Structure 1
Amino acid sequence: MSDGHGKGKVLDIKVADVKSVSPTFHRQAKKLSDALTTLINTLDGYGEPWGDDGPGKEFAKNYKPNQKHIESSTGILVLGLTSIHEALQDMADGHVDNDKLIEGMFTKAKHTPGGDGHK
């Protein structure tokens, strides 16, 4: 993709670039989802594994009141990454379809020698 330094160019989006970066968002959404599942299952499975010592109490004081918010926010991030993946795929597909449509408009046009191009 362009760095924006070209003359008059704002974006130079290449379908190959969009298609190559899209799976990254899917992979990262999966990794974040797996991490969230591990966090929830591990902590729920162990009860309160952080202990009753000073650091454990400090962790519990900060984590427990925010636990559902952390889980919910992380779920929203997973959905966001998934949405970006899907949007990039749709954008790439739409760009290809648009290029084919435009190409078809120009290849179907016939020029009549000596005519004004209108029928």
Structure 2
Amino acid sequence: MLRFTKDHEWVRVEGDEATVGITDFAQSQLGDVVYVELPDVGRSVTAGGEAAVVESVKAASEVYAPLTGEVSAVNDALGEAPSTVNDDPQGNGWFMKIKMSDKSQLDELMDEDAYKKFVEEQE
């Protein structure tokens, strides 16, 4: 199941764990990603709160936690190859995994069709 936020993060749910990254739209708006600052494993994150930072040639942007929980893994490969966020934003360019504390928060996120409509309204 894939869900999206209005801040252009995506969430892929597997059991009680959610993999999080930024959408293709977000990476295209940022331009070439040159640095990613990831949270520490074990850190508690709150839905809507800052969880990571992505820097591009254009700007630095916060990446917000779409769900409340504990960071269970981070994509250390982005330290060596931040451009993976541009090349495969919804695959190998993932940022973190969150062990969700409240799965009902998923109901507040958009499905793929709703997100596409939302992006069209932004352009």
- TM-score above 0.5: no
Report the TM-score range of the alignment, normalised by the length of the smaller protein. Answer: under 0.3
Larger RCO (CA under 8 A, 6+ residues apart) = 1
Higher percent of residues as helix: 1
Higher strand share: 2
